[in-house]
Amino acid sequence: MATLAGVAFTAILVAAAIGDLRTRRIPNRLVATLALLGVVFSLVHDHGWPGLPRAGGGLLVGLACWLPFYALGWIGAGDVKLYAAAGAWLGPMRALDGAIVGALSGAVLSLIWMMKAHGVKYSVRTLGLAAGTPQLLAPGTGAAARRSTLPYGVAIGTGALCAGWLPRLFFS
């Protein structure tokens, strides 16, 4: 049963990452499915009602970790919702671990994405300026800006999958 749950968890996160790569959107239906199955998994994993605090705590930790980055305009609402839903599977401590791994993955992906799009010289100069003015890193608006932004669902999914499949490899 645990392996089947892990396959479902993985499949939904991979589908969200692929969708984010293609369209820069993460469908709410996919997020809702992940959250609902996460609550069910937590109830089964913790043998009934004790699983609710685990699922709720993971969801809240996932939300709290990524909401500030949404408020700054650095990631989209779909990314935040996706990780909160994954937190329902992971529980609070593993959700925190996965958020840290996701942030590190996102930093590496962002640097690669920026250097590929603009070159090393421009990227280094922009990062130097952004150290004092973080708003410079906020994406623009419109369809063209959306296509040029990093699909952060890939980093979010990476963090959640690492926390789910390799829990003792990281922090808690």
DSSP 65-80: HHHHHHHTTSS-HHHH
- Reduced to 3 states (helix: H, G, I; strand: E, B; else coil), residue 25 is coil
State residue 141's pLDDT score.
Answer: 56
Residues with Cβ within 8 Å of residue 28, at least 6 apart in sequence: 78, 81
pLDDT < 70 stretches in the chain: 129-148, 170-172
CB atoms within 10 A of CB 146: 15
Could you tell me which of 27, 128, 42, 129 has the C-alpha nearest to residue 88? 42
pLDDT of residue 144: 46
Helix, strand, coil content of the chain in percent (nearest 5):
80, 0, 20
122 lies in which domain range? 2-169
pLDDT value, residue 170: 64
96-109 per-position pLDDT tens digit: 999 999 999 999 99
- How many domains does the structure of the chain reveal? 1
pLDDT at 114: 82
